[in-house]
Every structure is written in C-alpha cells, then in structure tokens.
Amino acid sequence: QTGLTALDYGFVNTAATKSRITYIDGDQGILRYRGYPIDQLASNSTYLEVAWLLIHGELPTADELADFDERVRRHTLLHEDLKHFFSALPHTAHPMSVLSSALSALSTYYENGLDPKDPEHVEMTTIRLLAKLPVIAAYAHKKSQGQAFLYPDNNLSFVDNFLRLNFGNMAEDYEVNPVLSKALERLLILHEDHEQNASTSTVRLVGSTGANLYASISAGINALSGPLHGGANEAVLEMLGQIQESGEGVRRFVERVKNKEDGVKLMGFGHRVYKNYDPRARIVKESANAVLDSLGISDPLLDVAQELEQIALEDDYFKERRLYPNVDFYTGVIYKAMGFPTRMFTVLFAIGRLPGWIAHWREMSLDPQTKIGRPQQLYIGEGERQYPQR
C-alpha cells in the first residue's frame, strides 16, 4: 500500500510499456480492468460501461453512462456513399479485410477531425468508432450472404442493435432474444482489453507516429486477424470440425499435435502470458453450456471441445508446457450457436477489443512523455565486409 510499484524498485525492464489500464498475472490466472476483476465485470456490467471504465479509468456515473450511450446511438449511421465501398468488394471478401479497409475509408469522411492532439477530435472519433464499427461488421456479414443492409434502430441497446443488423431482415420485424443479448454482452466484455497483446501493441506503435485513431485501429484489426492471435477463434472451429469429420478421434488428433505432424497446433490452447487457465476461458466455458441449453441447441462440436480439453489437461506434454485453454477455445461454439458464420468470429473479437485499443491509444497519445515507438534490436548479422572487386 506504499504506492510504490515494481518499477520503483527497479525490478522491471524500464523499456517495457507502462500502462494503468489492465493487469494480468499469468501464473495466477488473474485479469483486472482498472483494478476490477474480469468475472465481476462480465457478470454485472455492460460493454459501454466497461468501455468508459477502460478509457476514463473510473466507472461512469449513471448520467455519464446515459449520455455516453446516447452519443454512441446517435452516430451509428454511416455516410450513404460508403455503400459504394461495400459494393466494390466481392461477396467472398473476408469480413476482417472488409473491417480494416472500411475503417481507413471511414476516416476520409472526417478529414477535419483527425488531430490526435485535439481532445475534441479524439472524443468524437472514439464515439464514431464505437458506433460505426459494429455497423460495418454487420454490413460485411450481410454482404457475404447477399442480403440487404439494414439501418440501425437507435431504440435498441448497443448489443440488440448489432444483433438485429446481423440477423434481422427487410421482410419482418426483429424479435430481441434476451439470451443472445446477455451472452454476447458478456463475451464482448471478456474481449475488451488484454494489456500489451500483439494487436494492442500494434495500435500503440502506429499511434506513436502521430497516425490518427482510425489508421491505428485499422492496423490493430489486421494484427488481430492472424490465426495465432484473434484468428484463433475461427481456427478452433475449423479444428473441431476437422476432428469430427475425419473420424480420426480426439486422441489421435492429440497425438498428431504432440508429434508436431505438419505443424498442427491445438488451437485455442496456450498463451504468451497465461501459464494457467485463462480466466476468460473459464467464464466462456461456463456460459457455453448455458447458452446452448437456453437456445435448445446441442452441438457435437462442444462435446469434441470438452473431450479435447479433458485429454489435453491430463497429458504431460501440455502440462509440461503449461498449455491451457485460452479465451478462443470455447467462444466459437457460442458464436456458432448464435448464428454467426465462422468467418465473423474474429470480427466479434475486434468489436470486443475496440474499447481497449482506443483506451491504450488515448493513454499513449495524450501522454506528453510518449516518443515514437522503436522496438529494440539485437544485431546478430555479419560484421563489416568488403564488396568484391570484379
């Protein structure tokens, strides 16, 4: 309680990025947003309340949250000309490619509001990103299905508006499903931040050059798309499906992973920081059964996932390497039960992570001590040598 930190004692590599936003203890499996344990936020809060917490450092008052929610609702419409952007893309376009390129395109409509050092520009861009990224994501989904885009309905909550844009259509009224809403709200909260992961570090590095918030978030989306990072939730479903369709059985698959045949990995397992059970994975696993039961859905892939987890957790190969399920292991089963196509899973991760990216970008950009990022290198190449005279 001295207020001193490890940094003050000199135990920490001072080149490390300093942040007040999220704390992770990988050995203990602890995750806290601005000091609040993730399980308490996931059970009691909302996506926008947690977004405010991450960005401002404190939970909002009721009035602050109501005003924040209202400002986000009032900016959900995209400029009509952006529809031409979507019509230029093939219906087979991967939604993550649509998302990152649409964000760069979106910034061109706000050329007078991009100054990273202007607090009003930063606040307005924050609202526009939170409001419009879900709409762009839903458009990418509708585009892939050859269905008409819907306009947002600002009478709905953030999550219900997003669900309607994805699953509503022009021919009938959309009926809100409280089970889906609560499950998606919880999943989005679990993804909102995670300290210096690859995509957040990308957002901070790009932002440190003075690039605007749209450009920085677009770069973060591209980093997240990799199968070793956010793309893992899509890869897990593909892995579970291959195990089921091949008929090889879970045990044979685990042996292939241990023998590193064809570089196969147990997707959704392992983590750069957690060398224990990812606390988010535990929460997702608990809600997976509840969501499927309440939707009256039984998915054999959930059984495959649970068998895979049980075998892996008992196997020395995984125990020695401290490999446990991470946040991506069970999320896909729930997204699939909600009706999202597999290629939308990482898009859902991006919508979840958006507040964390924005919070880190603002923490970096508004800190006068911030210098342009330049990761250190240890040169291990050739010494000086002469160009041959010919």
The answer to whether residue 270 forms part of the interface with ligand SDX (CB under 6 A) is yes
Please, what is the minimum distance in Å from the beta carbon of residue 192 to ligand SDX?
9
CB of 229 to ligand SDX, least distance (A): 4
Active-site residue identified among 160, 193, 278, 328: 328
Q: Which is nearer to ligand SDX, 126 or 197 (CB)?
A: 197
Q: Does 228 bind ligand SDX (CB under 6 A)?
A: yes
Q: Which of 161, 197, 212, 287 contacts ligand SDX by CB under 6 A?
A: 197
Name the DSSP letter for residue 74: T
Query: Could you tell me how many residues of this chain bind ligand SDX (CB under 6 A)?
Result: 20
Site for ligand SDX in 350-379 (CB under 6 A): none
**What is the rounded end-to-end Cα distance, in angstroms, of the chain?**
70
CA 212, 214, 215: angle at the middle one, nearest 5? 70
Residue selected from 271, 336, 360, 362 as contacting ligand SDX according to rule CB under 6 A: 271
Selected from 267, 292, 305, 337, the binder of ligand SDX by CB under 6 A is 267
User: 83 or 321, CB closer to ligand SDX?
Assistant: 321
| 360 flagged as catalytic | no
Q: Does 326 bind ligand SDX (CB under 6 A)?
A: yes
Q: Quote the least distance from Cβ 81 to ligand SDX, whole Å.
A: 34
How far is 380 from 325, CA to CA, in rounded Å? 35
Site for ligand SDX in 17-56 (CB under 6 A): none
Question: In this complex, which beta carbon is closest to ligand SDX, that of residue 167 or of residue 361?
Answer: 361
Region near ligand SDX per CB under 6 A, out of 209-217, 263-271, 297-305, 335-343: 263-271
Percent of residues in the chain assigned helix, strand, coil, to nearest 5: 60, 5, 40
Q: Coil, helix or strand for 225?
A: coil
Per CB under 6 A, does 194 bind ligand SDX?
yes
Of the candidates 61, 65, 63, 31, the one whose C-alpha atom is nearest the C-alpha of residue 46 is: 65
Number of H helices, E strands in the chain: 17, 3
Q: Which of 133, 189, 254, 266 touches ligand SDX (CB under 6 A)?
A: 266
121 vs 265, beta carbon nearer ligand SDX:
265
C-beta closer to ligand SDX: residue 126 or 326: 326
- Per-residue burial over 316-342, b if 16 or more Cβ lie within 10 Å, else e, is eebeeeebbbbbbbbbbbbbbbbebbb
Of 226, 207, 208, the closest CA to residue 217 belongs to 207
CA separation for the pair 294, 292 (Å, rounded): 6
Whichever of 160 and 234 has its CB closer to ligand SDX, that residue is 234
Q: Give me the half-sphere count of Cα atoms (radius 13 Å) on the Cβ side of residue 194.
A: 25
Tell me, yes or no, if 141 is annotated catalytic: no
Full strand arrangement of the beta sheet holding 36-37: 22-25, 30-33, 36-37
Catalytically annotated residue among 271, 293, 316, 367: 271
- Measured CA to CA, the distance from residue 183 to residue 42 in angstroms comes to 10
Interface positions with ligand SDX (CB under 6 A): 194, 197, 228-229, 232, 257, 265-273, 321, 323, 326-328
Active site members:
271, 328
